[in-house]
Structure 1
Amino acid sequence: MSVTRIVRSSFEGADEFDLLIIGGGITGAALAHEATSRGLTVALVEKGDFGAATSAATGKLIHGGLRYLKKLEVGLVRESLAERRNLMRIAPNLVSPIPIVLPETGLVEVLGLTAYDVLSFDRNRLSDPSKRIPAHHRLHRSALDELGLDYVSKGILYYDSMMLSPERLTLAFLRTAVAAGAQVANYVRVDRLVLDGQRVTGAEVTDLVSGNPGLIRAKVTVNATGAWAHDLLSATPATQALAGPPPKVRSEGIYLVTRKLSDVMVLTVGKHGHFSFAPWRGHSLVGPTETPYHGPVDEWRLTRAAIEAFLASIAANNTAGVKLTIDDVVAAYGGLRPLTESAEVDTYTASRASELIDHSRQGVTGLVSAMGGKYTSSRAFASRIVTALGRQLGGGVRPSRTAVTPLDGCQLGELPHEVERAKTAVVAGGLAESAGEVLVQLYGSQLPEVLKLMGTDDRLRLPGTPDGEPLATVAWAARNEAVVHLTDALLRRTGIGQLGNPGPDVLDAAADIVAVELGWTAERRNQELELARRAVSLPED
């Protein structure tokens, strides 16, 4: 099969695109795919790495937004539930159902979950039986005990879906866009927007890898920078007025990866937040926090104090009585969420609806801002954006087919059958059987090519994670997925660094592999290794 490579484009201003998308998170990636699939030409730039920052700071759920029913956001819930099904259709290897226990439930929870089931009436209109989502039901004492939830007096079991790797879902959207002609580049900073009178005609940029300046001309520019949306508008004098005052508060969310706590996801809901223990790659993913953040976006970082405060909150508020210490935490990550409305204190109640802001209403044409996007509704949001922009571009935009067309690398049969085939293949290649399930979920229909690469070098068969992901995935990333830094490969292309520090042997081998693939000097290799070592370790301050 042919492999779609994501290659960093250089932008010198020779071409004019229909769309310039600023921001390479899930919103920008889904928009690039939607636009190219409907016949538009697209340039996309991201000042960091694809799928980093806010898009990496996720609990990995694809969900209908059960708690949105409390605010009667029925339309948002219905759209999210429909998109949960659509993502399992177009990315079946990356998105799968997950059972969730809601403990200590009462009438309100029962009514909410009943409405949830009704709103997802078409949830099982999928060809793969493994994607089937049952209706919710009460758990009797024996069922709770079988699940190891003896501390729960009563509970309800319902289902949503979970991503094994949000980063690879973002890449799948990007790869599909690139295959259709999109030009994309990570580590490209937008210095300022370019205007002709009161019309935005593109942006001046700097390639942070080469240091070269560039110019991208476009009929419409889309600000898809999430929590950085205000900063982007403020950087250009002519658009400062569009930005308005800086947001008073943003929402900080962090997650912990700990020893395994349960085989099902257990949700704890309070007045001002919720968190869960979710099984993920042989560990538990615990989170999120919901903490107001008042500082500059670029100055946010995950701190030891924030981790310890979350551990204290877990001990005080979880219904399981789970006691976690810092020694139980193997990894932690977080970021700032983009919200479409600000809140003075309680960011938990702010709407998660997405919003397209057309700045022509403020007197500047050729510029829109895509605000508040999230993984679950990213495809639908992108579809609405392209439909709206199609009118500005003079029509002729094709109808959307992205809800039913598999993403690049996600063209698979029924997942259980694919997993069994993958297990056989990896064992024949000298890997543990567990690696088969992980690899087919991460790479889908690309897996045969990854396995072929693995056979070229004994080092590439070395396991880099407890569940057996081999270092071949690092080499694959360096060859095909626009890796610039070692951290890109370890944290956003593979799971090698997502389960904490894998140890000096694995880190050294990964650094060697990327250095060879990208032609690094010994000095560059050592610098990248030190930066990666810090990135995969818990913060010390």
Structure 2
Amino acid sequence: MTSELSPRARAANLMRMASETFDVVVIGGGIVGAGIARDAATRGLRTALVERGDFASGTSGRTSRLVHGGLRYLKHMRIGLVRQAVRERDLLLRQAPALVRPLPFLIPAYRGHGPGKTSIRFALFLYDSLSKDKVLPRRAWLGPEGVLMREARLRKEALEGGGIYHDAVTDDARLVLAVIRAAANAGAAVANHAEALAILHEGGRATSARVRDRIAERIFEVRSRAIVNATGVWLDRLRSHREGAATARPTKGIHVLVPRDRVGNRGAVVMSAKRDGRTLFVLPWNDLALVGTTDTDYVGDPDRVLPEADELGYLLESVNETFPEAHLTARDVVSCYASLRPLVRGPSSREAESDISRRHEIYEDRDGLLSVLGGKLTTQRGMAEEVVDRVCVRLGRPLRCVTRDAPLGPRPDTEAEFRGMGFDDGAALRLASRHEPDA
């Protein structure tokens, strides 16, 4: 088998899908679907994956680009959620060093605004304690002078110090592609621009998916012993046998990219939104600063989600509050993007957007369709393991998960290979995080 994702490989995979019967078909080519396909294929299950657009063209390619444990969830004492995410973060740092890289964060403490120094120091202590493998440097505390030596253009008034902690950063779309490649290399038939139109049934059970090749405009059926719906905010479109109300509650997040020299941040900075105190990030992204993210309920067509002017203003005014010399306006925006988080709908319709559960859920409908909702880049591997465990029970095949120990993405020496081709250190680093040398 090959990890090639070429038009020729796609055509061959579509032929396989139309002619073979699979153990599991995964619908959705974001990070969750990719992770499920990788896990299933590496266990030896005959696996197929279809994605109606490009791989990672939905939420998974429009994230904050962070691989993180969710420090802010400690505010609500969601210890189990954070522990799981921290440990999956540490796994990714070991498995994919060319794709997932450590990133230090500074949280400044201001008197009368945002979290105080006592709560920050306790949160960082707890965050460190949840990391079992200790693959990242430990936290540190800086006084006001130390904070300003690190980030000279931060607001100085009422500054009481700041905490340093580490998470990780990735190119989100490239991480998805690396997981897709791993699935293909293990034997999965994967195809983008292949849309699942409907789930077909025999004797009341889901037995196949009707799929449209959106390039050749051909419709065919993919037969499978198990079908997994991993379409995120589009989850309920395929669930004809679900009971009760819709399970997905989309919340909207936007990000904005502005010139980094205007902001003046040397590294990653955590800040509190000026209007409502929400936790925001300013991240270094080459010569730009990536600012995000908003978190608002969304009602509308998930295919037409766009940033709004007021949302841009919310982010820009928060940067200007934290970095007073920035003076950012809408004219300074280089790029912006919006996405929808596929969160689990709770029992209360009045839940605040930021309080909706970040956990994931696996649903099994009366027809046997498995659907998975929630999660994020960081936790996809563990989610996939749970889903495929369910599939294996159904198939009567107790196969062991192997993704915990498997490398992912370009080889660790890829950066050195690019330097050997004559690229400078910065270019070699950027290329290694995106491409194999022979890609």
TM surpasses 0.5: yes
Amino acid at match of 1:142: E
Q: Which residue of 1 aligns with 2:305?
A: 301
Q: Identity of aligned pairs, percent?
A: 32
Q: Which residue of 1 aligns with 2:318?
A: 314
Higher strand share: 2
Contact 1:137 1:156 in 2 (8 A): yes
Q: Which residue of 1 aligns with 2:377?
A: 375
2:332 is matched with which residue: 328, 334, 351? Answer: 328
2:148 is matched with which residue: 135, 145, 158? Answer: 145
Are 2:77 and 1:78 equivalent residues in the alignment? no
2:129 is matched with which residue: 118, 124, 128? Answer: 118
Aligned equivalents of 2:169 and 2:316: distance in 1? 26
Q: In the TM superposition, what whole-angstrom CA distance separates every residue of 1:306-353 from its partner, at most 9, and x where no partner exists?
A: 55433454257x433343112221111121100012553621111111
Q: Which residue of 2 aligns with 1:224?
A: 230
- Compare 105-114 and 37-46 and name the one that shifted more: 105-114
Aligned equivalents of 2:174 and 2:42: distance in 1? 19
Aligned equivalents of 2:222 and 2:195: distance in 1? 12
Q: Which residue of 2 aligns with 1:502?
A: none
User: 1:232: Cα distance to partner?
Assistant: 2.2
Q: Which residue of 1 aligns with 2:256?
A: 256
What does 1:192-211 align with in structure 2 at a 5 Å threshold? 192-211=198-217
Amino acid at match of 1:251: T
Higher helix share: 1
Contact 2:272 2:318 in 1 (8 A): no
Q: In the TM superposition, what whole-angstrom CA distance separates every residue of 1:133-192 from its partner, at most 9, and x where no partner exists?
A: 1111111233222212452512111111111x1111101110111111101111111111
Q: Which residue of 2 aligns with 1:412?
A: 412
Amino acid at match of 1:189: E
Aligned equivalents of 2:402 and 2:120: distance in 1? 36
For the residue of structure 1 that corresponds to 2:32, the secondary structure is helix
Are 2:163 and 1:159 equivalent residues in the alignment? no
Distance change in 2, residues 1:243/1:305 (3 Å) = farther
Aligned equivalents of 2:27 and 2:312: distance in 1? 35
1:106 is matched with which residue: 117, 121, 129? Answer: 117
Contact 2:291 2:315 in 1 (8 A): no
Q: Which residue of 2 aligns with 1:34?
A: 39
Q: Which residue of 1 aligns with 2:112?
A: none
Are 2:188 and 1:182 equivalent residues in the alignment? yes
Q: Which residue of 2 aligns with 1:538?
A: none
Aligned equivalents of 2:151 and 2:67: distance in 1? 25
User: Over the residues paired in the alignment, what is the CA RMSD in angstroms?
Assistant: 2.2
Amino acid at match of 2:162: G
For the residue of structure 1 that corresponds to 2:50, the secondary structure is strand
Q: In the TM superposition, what whole-angstrom CA distance separates every residue of 1:25-47 from its partner, at most 9, and x where no partner exists?
A: 00000111111111111111111
For the residue of structure 1 that corresponds to 2:433, the secondary structure is helix
User: 1:3: Cα distance to partner?
Assistant: 7.0
Distance change in 2, residues 1:285/1:364 (3 Å) = same
For the residue of structure 1 that corresponds to 2:297, the secondary structure is strand
Amino acid at match of 1:326: A
Q: Which residue of 2 aligns with 1:265?
A: 268
Aligned equivalents of 2:406 and 2:67: distance in 1? 18
Aligned equivalents of 1:353 and 1:98: distance in 2? 24
What does 1:457-496 align with in structure 2 at a 5 Å threshold? none
Distance change in 2, residues 1:147/1:426 (3 Å) = same
Q: Unmatched 5+ residue regions in structure 1?
A: 125-132, 451-541
Aligned equivalents of 1:422 and 1:55: distance in 2? 27
Are 2:151 and 1:170 equivalent residues in the alignment? no
Q: In the TM superposition, what whole-angstrom CA distance separates every residue of 1:491-527 from its partner, at most 9, and x where no partner exists?
A: xxxxxxxxxxxxxxxxxxxxxxxxxxxxxxxxxxxxx
Q: In the TM superposition, what whole-angstrom CA distance separates every residue of 1:219-257 from its partner, at most 9, and x where no partner exists?
A: 111110000001222xx4xx2xx0643469521001111
Q: Which residue of 2 aligns with 1:403?
A: 404
Q: Which residue of 1 aligns with 2:137?
A: 134
Amino acid at match of 1:184: V
User: 1:276: Cα distance to partner?
Assistant: 1.1
Contact 2:233 2:341 in 1 (8 A): yes
Contact 2:247 2:345 in 1 (8 A): no
Aligned equivalents of 1:78 and 1:303: distance in 2? 32
Q: Unmatched 5+ residue regions in structure 2?
A: 110-115
For the residue of structure 2 that corresponds to 1:156, the secondary structure is strand
Aligned equivalents of 1:331 and 1:120: distance in 2? 35
Aligned equivalents of 2:185 and 2:169: distance in 1? 26
Amino acid at match of 2:382: A
For the residue of structure 2 that corresponds to 1:160, the secondary structure is strand
Are 2:100 and 1:95 equivalent residues in the alignment? yes
Are 2:3 and 1:4 equivalent residues in the alignment? yes
TM-score (norm 1): 0.73
2:367 is matched with which residue: 357, 364, 376? Answer: 364
